[in-house]
Amino acid sequence: MKSHARVVVIGGGVVGCSVLYHLTKLGWSDVMLIERSELTSGSTWHAAGGFHTLNGDTNMAALQGYTIRLYKELEAITGLSCGLHHVGGITLADNPARFEQLKAERAKHRYMGLDTEILGPAEIAKFTEGMVNLEGIIGALYDPLDGHLDPSGTTHAYAKAARMGGAEIVLHNRVLETNPTAEGWEVVTEKGTVTCEHLVNAAGLWAREVGAMAGVYLPLLPMAHQYLVTDDIPEIMDILKSGREFPHVMDPGGESYLRQEGRGLCIGFYEKPCEPWSVDGTPWTFGHELLNEDFDKIADSVAFAYRRFPVLERSGVKRVIHGPFTFAPDGNPLIGPVQGLRNYWSACAVMAGFSQGGGMGLALAQWMIEGEVERDPRGFDVSRFGTWTSPGYTVPKVMENYRMRFNVSYPNEERPAARPFRTTPMYEVFDGMNAVWGQQYGLEVVNYHALPGEPRLETPTFKRSNAWEATKQEVRAVREGVGINELQNFGKYLVKGPGARAWLDRIMAGRIPKPGRLSLTPMLAQSGKIIGDFTVSCLSETEFQLTASYGAQGWHQRWFDQHAEPGVTVENISDSRSGFTIAGPGARDLLARVTRADVSAEAFRFMDVKKMTVGMANCIVQRVSYTADLGYEIFCDIHSVRHLWDVLNEAGKDMGLRPFGMRAMMSLRLDKWFGSWGREFSPDYTPAETGLDRFISWNKPTDWIGKAAALKEKAAGPKRKLVSIVVDAADADVVAWEPIWLDGAVVGFCTSGGFSHWTNKSVAMGFIPADRVQDGLALEIEILGERRPARVHLEPLWDDGGRMRA
């Protein structure tokens, strides 16, 4: 074993071997993998080996498609067999909501290049050779890429391909310590010490233990998962004799997946009475063992499966596989650089290793070598869980995710486990005002306030929900009077020091404002892709406040840390500074009632920032509002929030001051086509595509990050453009990812949408070819399988900006 490598990967499962292979594929050959036992010794060896592309996150689905297509390439490179069986897969729908979900997924696939289709009961019967009881089945989604493989053979193919690229693999060598050094990391093992520049934790079942060696808590938990393999089944043998294979069948209503295994069948379950495993840590001695059989916890699932697949009841069980594999709280992988540690990378919680392992290996290798990922990684980025996570949070969330893995996923669904956990000083006040809560980055956020007599729970749906009337009233309260919303949903950063302005000029693509003013600016990666949209407020020449998405804190703080410079400090004050936004035609009058400062239109202009006392609280007040109305953002110390509320609430009583939530906020912003982080603005898009280029300071002399790529795109022009659209919708509005049709073909997709309660229009935003953009262009948008007429609408739905600037 050599004593130095550029990269050391800890863990020899399918994910670790995929990372190793992709590092060599992208040009790094001085890489090493260290495994405590044999390859595949954790979850990999007992995996069911199925693979599929279906995933609600479009980037995850695309990377799963990459993973599946990679297997033939691996076989060609290595001469080893992955044991591929591309048998196709069918996901059954036994109720209208599940069928709507499948139709929505099929719609996404239209512009992703995935060749899926919706089946009716007769087609399902044909595909499954009549072996599925179709009672209650409405339809299904068919994907020809689905199939299964040999887990061991596939992992060894990754490993051989990596070795062919120069990688070293060391087996039977447990890691004992990981210690940071000036150059990277020191990895102490049973066979000696290796130093490296980069360390990758791909330790699977032992990822928590390996992370703890570096002082890292990774929010993941092994769950005990069970599947059965039957004896030979005559019907399957007949199919094999005819040269065919039985397809995968996922039956979400029965919490099961079914596939052919030799001359029989394999069926696994995501049962409700699930079992977390080794909650307090995975024993180092665990390896090629299985857990004891536990038929009791899957008894109901098996009984349901016998009804859905009657052939199972006539078949004996040849073996039971019951073993652990790891989940993150939301079921997605934990991939990427770990904040606060130099060159420490996570490649953990990839619970669907043979659907996602290739894509996750590619993404991490790109991140390490090129500094960013080709596709927006936020759905699997380890930074989406902050330092606030704990085992007490992880365990109930993982159990909830396991139980609900096959549940219908609604766009407005709020899952209840481990909540409330993180709250603001306003939680009890708003809870007493019938707040219906959502959560962002672990924090409770008001979605809307239920009307008297209405349930304090939004009905999960793909269509318009029971929040409709309450949201409408909150919107009208803002537009006709004055509304108030807590500012907890902003990420906030304090940038200070003599070098603060120069640093911001390099980090941000836009203009950095003068004292007392604010500006809007994109933050770009070297590729020119958007990694943040910020408000920069200049409090003095050496002090700036930045605001952006609350849910992107980990992502943004990590970027700031990676680009740290002497003479500049960046402090995340997201939870120590809060306050309220007040908006509507009465906002100025309300502010004037609670401060002695001059807030007249002449003294306090649009995009001004001032320090002033409101009530007894020292505040930072800036004249800007995401509601597209006259508005102010009032920031104060977290301990003054309740006092600030009391002052504003008392002063606004005779004005009809009304709290509004995020449902109303997202409706209000659509009136002026304001984009949203994670929807219109994300690492998948560029400023020129989205219109954020109007906030770029092209002539500033600083060589800001992403400048070369942005200038190149500016010269060539973007191939697609973000447009605003009015939709002739029925009872369902655009959410995101719906395909846009033009001249009988899919030419783009929606980024977000909803209903503008003030203008009484269903609206959307989305990308279409740049050379087709024109006001009034007739389109169609596919919503839940139905193509609805729509028109491009380039002007604001309401107000030309006069209200904001009044």
Whether 334 and 346 have beta carbons less than 8 Å apart is answered as yes
The reported pTM is 0.95
Interatomic CA distance for residues 583 and 626, integer angstroms: 9
Look up tokens 């067999």; give the residue: 81
Whether 754 and 670 have beta carbons less than 8 Å apart is answered as yes
Residues β-bridged to residue 621: 610, 634
- Quote the pLDDT of residue 114: 80
Phi–psi pair at 579, nearest 5 degrees: 140, -150
Burial 502-538 (b: 16+ CB within 10 A, else e): ebbbbbbbbbbbeebbbbbbbbbbebbbbbbbbbbbb
Interatomic CA distance for residues 38 and 50, integer angstroms: 22
- Quote the pLDDT of residue 681: 97
Whether 706 and 509 have beta carbons less than 8 Å apart is answered as yes
Going by C-alpha positions, the residue among 63, 11, 738 that lies closest to residue 380 is 63
Look up tokens 């044999």; give the residue: 38
Both tokens assigned to 345: 């990378």
Both tokens assigned to 530: 């958007």
Interatomic CA distance for residues 738 and 537, integer angstroms: 36
Going by C-alpha positions, the residue among 46, 58, 23 that lies closest to residue 735 is 58
Both tokens assigned to 773: 């953009």
Going by C-alpha positions, the residue among 704, 725, 703 that lies closest to residue 772 is 725
Burial 582-609 (b: 16+ CB within 10 A, else e): bbbebbbebbebbbebebeeeebebbbb
Whether 203 and 37 have beta carbons less than 8 Å apart is answered as no
In terms of DSSP bridges, do strands 248-251 and 89-93 run parallel, antiparallel, or are they unpaired?
A: parallel
State pLDDT tens for residues 499-534. 999 999 999 999 999 999 999 999 999 999 999 999
**Taking the domains of the chain in order of start, what are their residue ranges?**
1-84+150-220+330-387, 419-457, 683-804
In total, the chain counts a number of residues equal to 806
Residues in the chain with pLDDT values less than 50? none
Q: Would you list the DSSP string of 102-114?
A: HHHHHHHHHHHT-
Residues β-bridged to residue 4: 195
Interatomic CA distance for residues 399 and 411, integer angstroms: 21
3-state helix, strand, coil in the chain (%, to 5): 30, 30, 40
Q: How many CB atoms lie within 10 A of CB 257?
A: 22
Going by C-alpha positions, the residue among 700, 704, 714, 721 that lies closest to residue 768 is 721
Both tokens assigned to 753: 């949408």
Whether 327 and 351 have beta carbons less than 8 Å apart is answered as yes
Interatomic CA distance for residues 634 and 655, integer angstroms: 19
Look up tokens 């995501």; give the residue: 270
Interatomic CA distance for residues 437 and 455, integer angstroms: 12
Q: Same fold for the domain at 1-84+150-220+330-387 and the one at 683-804?
A: no
- Quote the pLDDT of residue 61: 85
Q: Would you list the DSSP string of 366-402?
A: HHHHHSS-SS--TTTBGGGS-TT--HHHHHHHHHHHH
Whether 777 and 766 have beta carbons less than 8 Å apart is answered as no
Phi–psi pair at 335, nearest 5 degrees: -125, 145
Sign of CA dihedral 710, 698, 693, 516: positive
* Element at 275 (helix H, strand E): strand 275-276
At the fourth CATH level, the homologous superfamily of domain 1-84+150-220+330-387 is FAD/NAD(P)-binding domain (3.50.50.60)
Q: Would you list the DSSP string of 278-329?
A: -TT---TT-SS--PPP--GGGHHHHHHHHHHSGGGGGS-EEEEEEEEEEE-T
- Quote the pLDDT of residue 779: 97
Burial of 698 (0-12, 13-18, 19+ CB in 10 A): exposed
Interatomic CA distance for residues 617 and 639, integer angstroms: 10
- Cα 280 to Cα 206, 276, 391, 734: the distances in Å are 11, 10, 9, 43
Burial of 190 (0-12, 13-18, 19+ CB in 10 A): exposed
- Cα 717 to Cα 696, 747, 769, 798: the distances in Å are 15, 18, 11, 29
With H, G, I as helix, E, B as strand and everything else as coil, classify residue 580: strand
248 alpha carbon, distance to own chain's centre: 27
Going by C-alpha positions, the residue among 133, 116, 397 that lies closest to residue 254 is 133
735 alpha carbon, distance to own chain's centre: 15
Residues β-bridged to residue 90: 142, 249
Burial of 568 (0-12, 13-18, 19+ CB in 10 A): buried
At the fourth CATH level, the homologous superfamily of domain 683-804 is Aminomethyltransferase beta-barrel domains (2.40.30.110)
- Cα 651 to Cα 101, 522, 587: the distances in Å are 46, 36, 11
Most distant CA atoms of the chain, gap in Å:
88
Both tokens assigned to 285: 């001695």
Residues β-bridged to residue 727: 762, 790
Phi–psi pair at 255, nearest 5 degrees: 60, 35
Both tokens assigned to 682: 């994300």
Interatomic CA distance for residues 643 and 615, integer angstroms: 8
